Amino acid sequence: MHSRTKVPVPTPVVATLVEQHLGVSAAGVDELADGMYNAAYRVGLQNGGQVVVKVAPPDDLPRLGYEDALMRSEVSYYAHAAGRAPVPAVLAEDFTRRLIDRDVIFLSFLDGAPLQRIGRDLTDLGRATVRAELGTAVARLHEVRGEFFGYDRPDDRDSLQGDTWGEAFGRMWDAVVSDVMRYRVRIGPTEELLRSTVRRHRALLDEVSAPALVHFDLWDGNVFAAQDGDSARLTGLIDGERMFWGDPLAELVSTSLFRDPAKDVAFNVAYARAGGREWAFDEDQRTRLALYDAYVCMLMLAEAVPRGYRGMGAAMSRRFVRGRLRATLRRLHS
């Protein structure tokens, strides 16, 4: 799908960046089509290796409120996740804007392919194995604790962070509501109803006592796997830029995107065995999940405007997400 934020970088520039930061000449540069925010390239090296180069959008492009300095959040996520889950190694980073006027990171190349692409080719055993390995990895990641709640933005302490989860998520929610209004996204509910939703459930959110490391974008496009005979194995988790410190339950909104997370049995059993919580999916937890689901829906609807999504697929996606958001809001206000 086309996205305005994926602004291409000329091949010679990518090659120069690799040589300057990694000290190795590029043998070939191929654009990676997956992902809808950053431009990304697979670069073959003269020494036979491969790396991934990700380049952020130009600063002057429109974006959502939470999307400032996203690439720096991705680097932070991989640093916290290293040794706990299969994530790319950050080989180098360049936030100086000296060689190009955009943030750049250089990542190790992962084996496998996104579950979104190969999931249907896996056997039942293979799918269950990957879901279990994902549950184990996520449980280990949730053991990492932060010093505050909210997005990992060191220069944005007041707007998208807080001392409690209710305070931080309230600010995150209000930011995306502002994006919905700014980009005139047609979703039906009024601004007042949207903003009142989190206030209505603030006490429930404040029951979350410790800020866990949450990826919040672990849908099948960001989970890599490889076939292994009749089975399969988890090979990587990518695109950690949406990370925040908060409720680990929120992770299940992305790991089971638009599905009932209670039915992801292999994931949930492995998550609990690895030290994560055995989720009861009771009324309170279902309410928190509904809040996070509505938040994701608003993000998806709002980001489609500055990114310029178009075509039949984009229209069908908007219609589905808009309907889900309305249904979820009705539940939260019932």
Give the span between the Cα atoms of 274 and 267, in whole angstroms. 11
The per-residue DSSP string of 285-317 comes to HHHHHHHHHHHHHHHHHHHHHHHT--SHHHHHH
Mean of all residue pLDDT scores within the chain = 95
Identify the pLDDT of residue 35.
86
Domains of the chain, residue spans? 11-108, 113-332
Identify the pLDDT of residue 5.
94
Rounded mean pLDDT, 72-85: 96
Q: Which CATH superfamily is domain 11-108 in?
A: Phosphorylase Kinase; domain 1 (3.30.200.20)
Model pLDDT for residues 289-312, shown as the tens digit of each residue: 999 999 999 999 999 999 999 898
Model pLDDT for residues 98-133, shown as the tens digit of each residue: 999 999 999 999 999 999 999 999 999 999 999 999
CB 35 within 8 A of CB 6: yes
- Whole-structure pTM value: 0.95
Identify the pLDDT of residue 154.
61
DSSP lists the bridge partners of residue 104 as 55, 94
Identify the pLDDT of residue 46.
95
Q: Is the pLDDT of residue 317 over 90?
A: yes
Give the span between the Cα atoms of 11 and 163, in whole angstroms. 45
CA 95 to chain centroid: 21
Identify the pLDDT of residue 172.
97
Q: Do domains 11-108 and 113-332 have the same CATH topology?
A: no
Identify the pLDDT of residue 295.
98
Q: What is the dihedral of CA 300, 86, 247, 292, to 10 degrees?
A: 20
Exposure class string for 306-326: b at 16+ Cβ within 10 A, else e = bbebeeeeeeebbeebbebbe
- The dihedral region occupied by 175, where left means phi > 0, alpha psi between -120 and 50, and beta the remainder, is alpha
Helices 165-182 and 283-307, axial angle in degrees (round to 10): 30
Model pLDDT for residues 21-40, shown as the tens digit of each residue: 999 999 999 999 888 999 99
Strand order in the sheet with 231-237: 113-114, 223-228, 231-237
Rounded mean pLDDT, 57-67: 94
Residue 159: pLDDT band with limits 50, 70, 90 = confident
- Spatial CB neighbours of 334, under 8 Å, sequence gap ≥ 6: none
For the domain bounded by 113-332, which CATH number is listed? 3.90.1200.10
Least confident of 75-79, 168-172, 225-229, 312-316: 312-316
Give the span between the Cα atoms of 265 and 277, in whole angstroms. 14
